Amino acid sequence: MKKIYRIFLLFLLIPIADIKAQSCIGPAGQVKWGYWGNFPLFPDVTDVWALENFPSRPEGTQIINSLRAPINYSDFYAGMIRGFIKVPQTDNYIFNLTADDKAVFYLSTNQLPANKVKRAEVVVSTTLDQHDKDPAQTSVSIQLVGGQYYYFEMYNFDWTGNDHLTLSWKKASTPAAPWAIVDFNYIYEYTCGQVCPERGTPCNDGNSATTNDQQDGFCNCVGTPATANTCIGEKGLTEAYYYDNIVGNYVFNDLVNAPKFPLSPDRKEKLPGAYGPLPATPTYSADNYGTLVQGYLTVPVSGNYEFNITGDGNVLFYLSSDDNIDNKTAHQASVYQTDETDHTNNVSQTIAPFFMEKNKYYYFEFRHKENTWRDHFNLYWKTPFHEDKEWKRVPAFYLYDYKCEVSCIPAGTACNDGNPFTNDDKIVNCECVGTPCSGPDCDDESARYKVYDSCSPTDNLTTLSEAAWLSCGTLKPNPNPARTNNKNWIRYEFNNAYKFQDTRVWNYNVTGETNKGFKSVYVDYSIDGTTWQQLGGTYTWPQAPGNADYAGFIGPNFNDIRAKYILISAINNWGDATCSGFSKITFNASLCDSEGTICDDGDPLTINDKFDNSCNCRGVNINCASDTIKLDRSPLSDGDYKAIKAIAAESLVPTTKDISFTAGNSIVLLPGFEVKNNAVFKADIANCVQQAFVNNEKLTNATDDESVTEFSTDSTEINKLKQIVFRINKPGYVKLKLKDKSENTIVTIIDNYYENLGTQIKLLPTNKLPKGLYWIELDYDGKILKEQLEVKD
């Protein structure tokens, strides 16, 4: 029996393998042409591959009987023909491609699509029968074996005007023969590909714990998983919040330090998936803004997934290991200035394969900083369920809204409620509301946000080497001991200490040598040229184009940092093995007035602001901004509690905690107040202004004191918008959170970001906060400070 069984199994395996290989070969004499349209710009092959419905679900198809596509079909579209070629006798063939506007031809080494090779392409438009415009149109000689099927793909990409695509051939042995269109005698339709129910078709995923089961269009039945996470919102809703009029190139420093980020955006829009913004008219019409997108991702099947981001400006992407926002740094990606489908610009833009589970939520977050011209951010994935293993944009079907945000667009801001039967759409209580209209009274126009002009360049730059600076790393060591390994550097010494603001940079712009330009860069500053502080993190400088009209880009913003020396060190460049440099940098800086001159330090926590002898506008710190603080019967966390007039507490100071109370008039410890063993509790009756003068004097004479960080919330409220103000006198890592009365985190405003010294302001809208008491908690290098915040009617 064993011998018979083995022989029988062997006979089964051979024909099954042969049948499987042949199963995609369809009717002879025809192939299918399909197209995908409505591209905002001129598409290419990577744009088509990124489409979720590519390749099996084109927007339209036609059966054709030769390898000539329909002529002058449309504009801004991409077309594809795929199938098989079979010749009756073995011979060598040459293929030729003609097209308008562009095209590419792939031919496999056999009948398997995975073995396709690019054989010819059209990069400049040809006429219908113009076979010799560019050598790239014509393939090398290729041997085709008689009776063997060869898989092929053809694409054409059209912008406007004429469009056509034709594949011709002839035998290599007769090069003088005319080109002939590959016709019905040699072609076979490709009949494989996913054939699945339409997305949204009701189904049953077999899981009683899910609801609203629907087909996803890829033969997966997907339900909405049950969850106890109250922040998981509407399925298919992805919203982007935009923060306008923020100059600079980077998420860190420029976007994160903006007072309005992340809680007071200027506008928002619904996205079709984890990518945006929506196409503008004119295209790329918005400049100098930031973006925040938050949500949850699900997957239709368990398995290994890869993720990749692209974007103009600076884009950061976070993906949690679960639905907990605090775990968002489990998977991270970042990128700077790439095309929409440039997936290999930097290793940091890809998240390596990791296992994801069906019926599980994963929190995700985009942060995007746009400077000028192009603006886009995109999340792509490679999945276990797509037919082709190309990068695909992540659609809204697998996404859920993050509904725990307290962000609020200012009341009265123009918006678009998406309803064509309303006019004069405006923000009311954080929502977009329009005035109902009917018939001819409706204008049906999208709300228009003011687009601010970008900063104009100071001048354009030539391509001459005489207009650039170059270092080949053979001279003096780097002035900053922390940069010993960075051999290519430049130090600027100024005649006085200045307060520096924004910069503009022109990278190395010599034609043919732009790969010498700085890429990853450290920027340090110093007062004495010996002790150095790093500005922000690592900067990425775009490669120069090598054109005479190069206008540079907005560089690092020093945010009024005082320095006499600035050091710029290259970590690497754009590819040159020996030398690095850049062409030009300009600094926006100012000298301060003489000591004692009255000024405004921009800090609402100070009074009597004057310039000191170190170019600093400094006022007297009046930290106590709340009149009274009331603490109920609950354990206190580490921190300082300060009030102008009074503190009343019936709280518990837990073991090992360090708590201090400071108030101007009274500190009342009510029945129930308790200090546990080994806890430290201090109480101090002090006039805020008088004590501030003492503290200010100590600060002047003790620059290494790390305990001088102070912060407050503005006791006034305008249009339900409060200010959170904090000042640090030494750079360090900062966390800023809004907590409820029980000290549960509502929102993280700053998430462990390295801040430079100075005063920072964050705007907190209170529209979505119920009436009551809240805590603002500042964690500065492990030191906890708290301020109580009251939300009234």
Sequence-distant (≥ 6) Cβ neighbours of residue 150 within 8 angstroms: 84, 85, 86, 107, 108, 109, 110, 111, 144
**Lowest-confidence range among 20-29, 497-506, 581-590, 733-742?**
20-29
Domains of the chain and any CATH numbers: 25-190 (2.60.120.1560), 198-226 (no CATH), 229-402 (2.60.120.1560), 415-448 (no CATH), 465-590 (2.60.120.260), 606-791 (2.60.40.1930)
Q: Which of 584, 583, 585, 577 lies closest to 472 in space, CA to CA?
A: 577
For 481, list phi and psi in degrees, rounded to 5.
-55, -25
Residue 7 DSSP SS3: helix
- Does residue 754 sit in helix, strand or coil? strand
> Nearest 5 degrees, angle CA 479-CA 480-CA 482?
145
The answer to which of 278-287, 328-337, 429-438, 750-759 has the lowest mean pLDDT is 278-287
Phi, psi angles (nearest 5°) of residue 252: -75, 150
Q: What is the pLDDT of residues 490-542, one digit of tens each?
A: 999 988 888 888 888 999 999 889 999 999 999 999 988 999 999 888 888 99
Give residue-wise pLDDT tens across range 465-477. Answer: 877 899 886 668 8
**β-strands 180-181, 60-64 pairing:** unpaired
DSSP assignment of 526-542 equals ESSSSS-EE-SS-EEPP
**Which pLDDT does position 527 carry in this prediction?**
87
Most confidently modeled of 6-15, 144-153, 751-760? 144-153
What is d(CA 325, CA 333) in angstroms, rounded to the nearest whole number? 16
CA distance 341 to 54: 15
Q: Say if residue 1's pLDDT is above 70.
A: no
AA identity, residue 529: G
Question: Which of these, 42, 89, 278, 108, lies nearest to 185 by C-alpha position?
Answer: 89
pLDDT tens per residue, range 615-647 = 777 765 545 556 677 887 778 776 777 776 788
